[in-house]
Amino acid sequence: MQTDLKVWLTPREVEQMYGISRSLLWRLRRTGIIQSATIGTRGVRVSRVSIDAYMARQTQDTGDDG
């Protein structure tokens, strides 16, 4: 499946697509800022909608228009 169509992303996909470090991603998960799901005992998926919302908030907070 193409990454641009996926609703749930792997941590590696989040890192590559958004430039978010793994440590920041884990902090965002732990604090509940982004939604994630654990698949089995080790698989993690991150909600694309929550990542997009987080990135939009970051852009607004910095006043960056593009």
Query: What share of the chain in percent tops pLDDT 70?
Result: 88
What is the rounded distance in angstroms from the CA atom of residue 3 to the CA atom of residue 46?
Answer: 13
Higher-scoring residue by pLDDT: 66, 46: 46
Domain that holds residue 30: 7-62
Residues 6 or more apart in contact with residue 51 via CB below 8 angstroms: 9, 14, 18, 20, 34
- What's the pTM value of the predicted model, to 2 decimals? 0.79
- Is residue 21 in some structural domain? yes
- Is residue 42 in some structural domain? yes
- Is residue 20 in some structural domain? yes
- Is residue 1 in some structural domain? no
Q: Around Cβ 38, how many Cβ atoms within 10 Å?
A: 10
Q: Domain count for the chain, please give it.
A: 1
How does residue 13 score in pLDDT terms, banded at 50, 70 and 90? very high
What pLDDT, on the 0 to 100 scale, is given for residue 44?
A: 95
- Is residue 2 in some structural domain? no
With a cut of 80, say whether residue 1 has pLDDT above it: no
Residues 6 or more apart in contact with residue 7 via CB below 8 angstroms: 47, 48, 49
SS3 46: strand
